[in-house]
Structure 1
Amino acid sequence: MTSKVEFRDLRRIFGKTVALDGLDLTIEPGEFVALLGPSGCGKTTALRCVAGFERPDSGAVLVDGKDITDVPANKRDAGMVFQSYSLFPNLNARDNVAFGLRVRRVPVAVRRAKADELLELVGLPTHADRFPHQLSGGQQQRVALARALALEPRVLLLDEPLSALDAKVRVALREEIRRLQLDLGITTIFVTHDQEEALSIADRVAVLRDGRLEQVGAPAEVYDRPATPFVAEFVGTMNHLVGQASPEGTVTVLGHTLPIDGPSPDSPEVDVLIRPEAVQVTPAEDGEAEVLVASFRGSSVRLRLALAGGEVLADVPGHEAVRLAAGTRVTVRLVERPVLVAPRTVTVPAPVTEPADAV
């Protein structure tokens, strides 16, 4: 059975800190929604309000139309997986998975069979008799996931469950979580500050900032059509380029005239937000830009370009690496698509790339 979860004007304040400021969000039955945002944006508080570990100051949490705001945590039909594995060190994997069933006084044979079934489901059929210290971090988190599923909850809550794992294990386990969620059809809320995680596995992504919902939509929509400059900046990488806006709803930047996505700004001088993949480069001896750094990323290369007006990031296919090494002169073109603009800041910081191997 899957359930519909609703946050209705949810507010939670800790001293002078507003953790949730009128959160309204509906999660449909069987949907996988990622709550994404920086530390302190309210995403974990929202999750804890569903679990019953946190009580909002106002507003309500509804499951299938029923207000559960005042229902004790142990009476809510929700399974939660934490960032820390939270396994009992004195119990083996099977007994950890079956712990909730034991509390409910389920017969030994039944709970043992259920635990073995779930360990099979999460890919650990041969690890039932191992204790937590005999398991890797990824294996421990799989046991924690199986334990959350043992009580057959209507809602699965995941609070940054992958952040303590190394990169390769994190990718494998997030794909496993998505597979399980699809197989079981369980309504899932996944909290993360990692945009790649959110975009890769969620049906919809809800971006939070200072306790408010900035945007909610399918991953492609949030990435390609950010509703606000904050979403554009937080989800993915953005270039900030100086442009001149016109009353006709266009902006001129780097010699290109592009349509503005949204209303025209009051001031003609604006910051134009452009994704690196929307910057196209071609080697040319008389090009207006120079490649400062070429960072190889496998299927793509991220270029840091020096232009007369500052620096720009561009993403190009990986096979272009050889002819776009540092020092290469290039011409720059922008993909003709609507762009988001923001009020011009006094100082525009240079774009920053993630560490990578330079070509």
Structure 2
Amino acid sequence: MTSKVEFRGLRRVFGKTVTLDGLDLTVEPGQFVALLGPSGCGKTTALRCVAGFERPDSGAVLVDGKDITDVPANKRDAGMVFQSYSLFPNLNARDNVAFGLRVRRVAAATRRARADELLELVGLPGHADRYPHQLSGGQQQRVALARALALEPRVLLLDEPLSALDAKVRVALREEIRRLQLGLGITTIFVTHDQEEALSIADRVAVLRDGRLEQAGPPAEVYDRPATPFVAEFVGTMNHLPGRLAGDGKVTVLGQTLPVDGAVPADPDVHVLVRPEAVQVTHTTGSQPESGIGEVVTASFRGASVRLRLLLDGHDVLADVPGHEAARLAPGTRVAIRLVERPVLVAARTAPDAV
């Protein structure tokens, strides 16, 4: 069974700090939604409000249309995986997984079979008798995940479960979590401050800032069409190029005139926000300074692509180019710089989000 989760106008204040400020968000049945944002944006508080560990000062949490704001945590039918694993050190992996079943007085044989089944599901067959100190960090987190699934919750809550792991283990385990989520069809809310993590596994990404929702949508939409300058800055890398509004919803930048996507500031002098992959670089022999002519400063290998740092009229510009083209674009090379012909986001040069 899978459920719909709704945050309706959630507000939570700690002293003088507003952690959630009218959060509205819907998670459809079976969806995997990542709450993404910087530290202190309210994402973990929102998750804890669903789990029942925090009570909002106003607003409500609904599951399948039922207000559960006042329902005790142990009655909410939600499984939670914490950043710190939180395994019982005196229990082996099997007993950790079966702990909730034991609390519910499930028969010993049944809970043993269920625990062994889940340990196999998370890739830990043969580890049932090991204690937490005998397991790696990734293995401990798998046990924590199995424990959260043992009671067959309608909602799975993951609070930065991979942040304490090294990079290679994180990638492997996040893919495993996604595989399990798809297989079980369970509604899942995943808190992270890692944009790559959110974009790689979620059906929808919800970007939070200061307790408010800035944008929610499929990963490609959030990355390619950020709704605000803040989202553009936080999700992925962004160049700031000086431009000037040309009227009729267009902006002139690097000698090109491009359509503007989104709001247009009152001041005509703007920052044009452009992803590195939207910057086109070609070798040039031109010797006279002109718009769109710069120089390669550094080249960083990134696998299939190379990230160039360019110097253009005193500004740093990042560009991602295919690896096979990088040999002709060594540091010191003079290059012509153009932007892909597509709508761009702009921000006032004086706006906090634009710097």
One fold, TM greater than 0.5?
yes
Q: State the AA in 1 paired with 2:240.
A: H
Give the alignment partner of residue 310 of structure 1, picking from 287, 294, 315: 315
Q: Which residue of 1 aligns with 2:346?
A: 341
Of residues 312, 323, 331, the one that matches 1:326 is 331
1:41-98 CA deviation, whole Å, 9 max, x = no partner? 0000000000000000000000011100001111110000000011111111111100
* Large movers: runs of 4+ above 4 Å: 346-350
Q: 1:139 to 1:107 in 2, by over 3 A?
A: same
Which residue type is aligned with residue 46 of structure 2? Answer: A
Q: Is the 8 A contact 1:247 1:264 kept in 2?
A: no
Q: State, as a whole percentage, how many aligned pairs show the same letter.
A: 85
1:5 corresponds in structure 2 to 5
One-letter code aligned to 1:282: T
C-alpha displacement of 1:178: 0.3
> Is 2:271–2:354's contact at 8 Å kept on the other side of the alignment?
no
Distance 1:347 1:240 in 2: 13
Whether the aligned pair in 2 keeps the contact of 1:77 and 1:154 (CA below 8 Å) is yes
Q: Is 1:188 matched up with 2:188?
A: yes
**Alpha-carbon spacing, 1:140–1:278, altered in 2? closer, same or farther (3 Å):** same
Structure 1 residue 231 displacement after superposition? 0.3
SS in 2 for 1:163: coil
Moved more, 280-289 or 238-247: 280-289
Contact 1:21 1:212 in 2 (8 A): yes
Unaligned runs of 5+ residues in structure 1 are 351-359
Whole-Å Cα distance in 1 between the matches of residues 61 and 221 of structure 2?
26
Query: Could you state the TM-score of these two structures normalised by the residue count of structure 1?
Result: 0.95
CA distance in 1, matches of 2:60, 2:23: 10
Q: Does 1:294 align with 2:292?
A: no
Q: Retained in 2: the 8 A contact 1:249–1:263?
A: no
| Structure 2 SS opposite 1:243 | strand
Q: Equivalent residues in 2 for 1:120-269 (5 A)?
A: 120-269=120-269
SS in 2 for 1:101: helix
Is the CA contact (8 Å cut-off) linking 1:246 and 1:264 kept in structure 2? no
Unaligned runs of 5+ in 2: 288-292
Which amino acid letter does the alignment assign opposite residue 186 of structure 1?
A: I
Structure 1: how far apart are the matches of 2:342 and 2:351?
26
Per mean C-alpha deviation after superposition, the further-off stretch among 128-137 and 323-332 is 323-332
Aligned to 1:96: 96
Q: Deviations over 1:10-31 (max 9, x none)?
A: 0000011100000011101000
Q: CA RMSD in A?
A: 1.4
Deviation at 1:263, TM superposition (A): 3.5
**TM-score, scaled relative to structure 2:** 0.96
Deviation at 1:311, TM superposition (A): 1.3
Count of residues in correspondence between the two structures? 350
| Residue type of the alignment partner of 1:246 | A
Q: Distance in 2 between matches of 1:25 and 1:228?
A: 17
Instruction: Call closer, same or farther: CA 1:346–1:8 in 2, change over 3 Å.
Output: closer
> Partner residue of 1:74?
74
Aligned-residue offset at 1:262: 1.9
Output the CA distance in 2 between the equivalents of 1:310 and 1:331.
14
